[in-house]
């Protein structure tokens, strides 16, 4: 068996929630908690369907389940307050192996970007509370593009800000919507599972799958 040579891209682009930061589980819990405080039932499985989606898609998924009368804006604000209070008190936890991978890429002097559906102000706060904001030279956020994931816009914007062609980048994702967006952008993808297993038609687009972010460091050589 011929050993495959490690790939050294010109830049690496990361999703944020669920990929670098362990924020998807708390967010789903907080959506359910916020809805309950306002007198609505929002099962966690509905929250799972919103993973990786932009604001408009998330709204549509939740309202379609709950009914047009669901107080989406009020619930979202309460959910964000709950997350903010927890983050200010406890910080934002990393996904396993994050610092191992970031340190390795830093040694290789690769520029790093973030491509997240989260609005910029909130994304910066999360990355700062996680202690990794300064690791990234660019960000592309959900409130800076017309179409969110699974459209490719966020990843294309991140590649543009990194001054690289999409095919010269590698993208990391944990969600089906994000992997679809990377494929549409022409960026080879690395999948690291958090909560959701993508369908086979999405997995066939994935360049590599890794058990955690530390394992992914091996893709880029010693």
pLDDT, tens digit (0-9, with 9 covering 90-100), for 27-56: 888 889 999 999 999 988 898 888 777 788
Token pair for 126: 């999360």
Same domain, 172 and 108: yes
Final residue in a domain of this structure, among 90, 109, 138: 90
Look at strands 112-116 and 11-14 and give their pairing: parallel
Q: How confident is the model at residue 1 (pLDDT cuts 50, 70, 90)?
A: very low
Which pLDDT value is given to residue 6? 67
Domains: count for the chain: 2
Same domain, residue pair 134 and 182: yes
CB neighbourhood size of 204 (10 A): 9
Which among 165, 62, 110 has a CA at the least distance from the CA of 102? 110
Tell me, what's the pLDDT at 2?
Answer: 40
pLDDT digits (tens, 9 = 90+) for 123-161: 999 999 999 999 999 999 999 999 999 999 999 999 999
pLDDT tens digits, residue range 119-133?
Answer: 999 999 999 999 999
Give the alpha-carbon dihedral of 85, 128, 13, 136, to 10 degrees: 170
| Dihedral sign computed on CA atoms, order 108, 110, 116, 122 | positive
Q: What is the CATH number for 110?
A: 3.40.50.1000
Mean pLDDT of 82-86: 89
CA distance 34 to 133: 28
Domain presence at residue 77: yes
Q: Please check whether residues 38 and 121 belong to one and the same domain.
A: no
Per the model's pLDDT, the better-predicted residue between 186 and 67 turns out to be 186
- 78 plus 115 within the same structural domain: no
213 & 103 share domain: yes
Structure tokens at 168: 């010269």
Examine the domain organization and report whether 48 and 16 are in the same domain: no
pLDDT at position 158 is: 98
- The average confidence (pLDDT) of the chain is 92
Span 185-195, average pLDDT: 96
pLDDT of residue 11: 98
Q: Write down the pLDDT at residue 194.
A: 92
Q: Based on the domain organization, do 56 and 152 belong to the same domain? A: no
- For position 179, what pLDDT does the model report? 97
**What is residue 56's predicted lDDT score, i.e. its pLDDT?**
85
Mean pLDDT along residues 182-193 = 98
Do 189 and 103 fall into the same domain? yes
What is the average pLDDT across 13-34?
Answer: 92
Largest CA distance in the chain: 60
């Amino acid at each position: 068996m011929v050993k495959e040579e490690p790939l050294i891209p010109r830049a690496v682009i990361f999703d944020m929630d669920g990929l670098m930061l362990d924020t998807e589980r708390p967010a789903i819990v907080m959506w359910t908690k916020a809805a309950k405080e306002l007198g609505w039932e929002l099962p966690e499985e509905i929250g799972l369907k919103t993973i990786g989606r932009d604001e408009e898609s998330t709204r549509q998924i939740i309202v379609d389940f709950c009914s047009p009368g669901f107080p989406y804006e009020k619930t979202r604000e309460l959910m964000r307050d709950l997350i903010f209070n927890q983050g200010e008190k406890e910080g934002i936890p990393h996904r396993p192996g994050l610092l191992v991978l970031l340190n390795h890429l830093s040694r290789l002097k690769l520029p790093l970007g973030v491509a997240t559906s989260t609005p910029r102000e909130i994304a910066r706060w999360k990355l700062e509370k996680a202690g990794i904001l300064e690791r990234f030279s660019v960000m592309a956020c959900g409130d800076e593009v017309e179409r969110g994931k699974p459209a490719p816009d966020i990843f294309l914007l991140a590649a543009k800000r990194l001054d690289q062609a999409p095919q010269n980048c590698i993208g990391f994702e944990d969600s089906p919507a994000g992997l679809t967006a990377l494929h549409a952008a022409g960026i080879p993808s690395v999948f690291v599972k958090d909560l959701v297993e993508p369908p086979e038609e999405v997995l066939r687009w994935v360049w590599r799958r890794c058990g955690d972010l530390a394992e992914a460091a091996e893709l880029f050589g010693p």
